[in-house]
Structure formats: structure tokens, C-alpha cells
Amino acid sequence: MITQKMKYALKALLALADEAGKAQPQALTIEEIARRSGTPKRFLEHILLEVRNAGVIASTRGRSGGYSMIKRPADVSISELLRTIDGPIAPLPCLSRRAYQRCEDCTDEASCRIRKVFAEVFWSYLLIIESLTLEDMMRQGSIADQVLGAPEQA
């Protein structure tokens, strides 16, 4: 499950990516990002700082300053963003690639049935999440629509 912080980050990035796609994009202030993305302004500053430090967006000071995309949406990996904002994404510490830790109560990883079952689920999840980019989220007719069926029209 992703955190609310990650949802705010994604909403903010989608607003910035939409602006970047315009003929004459401009930097957006935190207030404008909050308005466009429907996220609380008080959380955005810290979140945008993390995303900026990850090299996805840039900030400029001054009267016409604000935030803008420096990576193309196709180059913004959702899995990397998840790790940046939420930390390790593995369901068990012994399955994490970057934050591996042996489970304290485990006596034998090789025969751990819990690890084996969650490893299968996690690798399936990784195949999908590591292929997704911000550009995929921007498209109409997403993978979720294909898998879950498009929402019913009222």
C-alpha cells in the first residue's frame, strides 16, 4: 500500500508534468501545484524537496520562480519514486534488494515458507511496478482500466 505522502507526490508530479507538456510551460508555485493537484500546501514543500533532491524536478527562486520538471515523464520511474518517498517496497526485509535485512525470527531463509510465498507475489508486483513511469500515469486508458475494466459511465 502506498502512503498518503506518495499519493501527494504523484499528484504534484502529474500537475507539473501536465504543465511541462504545454507549448510554453512555466514554473509552478507550491500554491499553484496544491490547487491543481488537490493536495494540502503544508505537505507539499517537504515532498517537493525530496523529489527535487532525487533529480526529477527543479526549483527556481524569484518572482517567476517555482517548480518544474527536469526529467521527461517517460524517464520518471514509479518504483524509484516509491523508494524515494516511502522507502523499501518489499513486503519483508529479507526480500528487499536495497535494504536487505535478515528477519530476526528466521532460522533458515532457504526453507522459510513465508518468504517463498511473499517472494512470488513480490516479484510479480515488481515486474509491473518497475515498468511503470509517470508518462504511463498521464495516459488515458491505463493498465488498471484494462485489468479492472473501465469505470461505468453514469
| Structural domain boundaries in the chain | 4-69, 88-144
Cα-atom radius of gyration of the chain, to the nearest Å? 18
Report pLDDT for 144: 54
How large is the average pLDDT for residues 12-36?
Answer: 94
- Tell me the pLDDT tens digit for each residue of 125-137: 999 999 999 999 9
Phi and psi angles of residue 68, each rounded to the nearest 5 degrees, phi first: -150, 160
pLDDT beyond 60 at 25: yes
For residue 67, what is its C-alpha cell? 517548480
List, for residues 81-104, the tens digit of each pLDDT value.
Answer: 999 999 989 888 888 888 888 888
The chain-wide mean pLDDT, for the chain, equals 88
CA separation for the pair 63, 65 (Å, rounded): 6
4-69 to CATH, choices 1.10.150.130, 1.10.10.10, 1.20.58.220, 1.10.3720.10: 1.10.10.10
pLDDT tens digits for range 136-154: 999 865 555 555 555 555 4
The pLDDT score that the predictor gives to residue 77 is 95
pLDDT of 30 > 90? The answer is yes
